[in-house]
Structure 1
Amino acid sequence: METLRSKGASLDWRVSILLFCVVAAVNGQIRYTIPEEMRKGLFVGDVAKDLGLDLKRLVSGRARLVIDEDNQYVVLNQNKGHIVVNERIDREKLCAKKSPCSFSLEIVLEDPLELFSITIEIQDVNDHAPAFPKKEINLEISESTPTGTVFLLDSAADPDVGVNSLQSYSLKANDHFCSQTTHPRRWE
């Protein structure tokens, strides 16, 4: 029994040292915010400057990005120390209605091992038009229907979020609207 306690204490001590080394290796954390739909090659952030790293260290340490996602949205330009867009980021595809929308990555340097954590938040831009579930709605309205009667319609859907999402809408007298009464008369 004493041997098991001794081995358990030894294992706890080793795990503690390993965790300390991992935490010590994570030297910095950066957060960048960019709008969605940026073109390939556009600037995201200057990691060399923001982490206080010399460009020579990025090259000698064979700096590379480690990204969990299948898509490589950004890349590191070692010679300049910049992160740039590698492919357009569609916030709605990446996060749907989740807000805020972000993804994380790490910059790894070798000899000595250094790890820097980066979070890139994607801001929504108003790039989707609201759409109704049905393109055309037919209402039968009796002539005896009082003026000012409200007719409820299905809501329009908008994949954008926050201030870019659909806040409200209304039909105005000038909007294209065709109504038919229970009599064969038509108004346009």
Structure 2
Amino acid sequence: MIRIAVALSSAIALLAILLGHHIRPRTEPVEPETVWAYIAETAPQSGIDAEFVYALAWAESSLNAKARSSVARGIMQVTRGAWEQVSDESYREAWEWKTNIRVAVDYLAFCKDYLQENGHFSYPLLAASYRYGPYYVSDKGFDVNRMRKPSNSIYRQIFQGNSRPVSPPYPD
């Protein structure tokens, strides 16, 4: 009887540890200077404004490399669909913050190309395309005012025309 009780209590303890690991929010903040340096190097290579990308990183995760939602992962909160649109890498790589930013920038470039091909590029529409998908933006007639209003204050500022609502940590 004692063996059963010990085995049962051990199993319960192990289960509590495993569940606690999956339930507890995972955070891995990345230093703003480090994120900015990488974005400043990466974004311009794809023709995307680096300060715009930096603002999106803050809006999406507050620079948390392990951020997750029901549909997105990582510092830029890239969805599986967006990831697969521009990358052949495993979606498991979305947890690596540099890879996540690089793929997000590639997706932003994809969205920018789509908007330009349709004669409707602007940073508010690029933000909407990133957040909702370019085909949603097209379905709304490329009119930000016809789209769902974001609850995030950074996205609201971008939708209103401020493509650089977060100041990056410029080196001294």
- Which TM-score band (shorter chain)? under 0.3
**Greater C-alpha Rg:** 1
- What TM-score, normalized to structure 1? 0.24
- Larger strand proportion, structure 1 or 2? 1
- Larger helix proportion, structure 1 or 2? 2
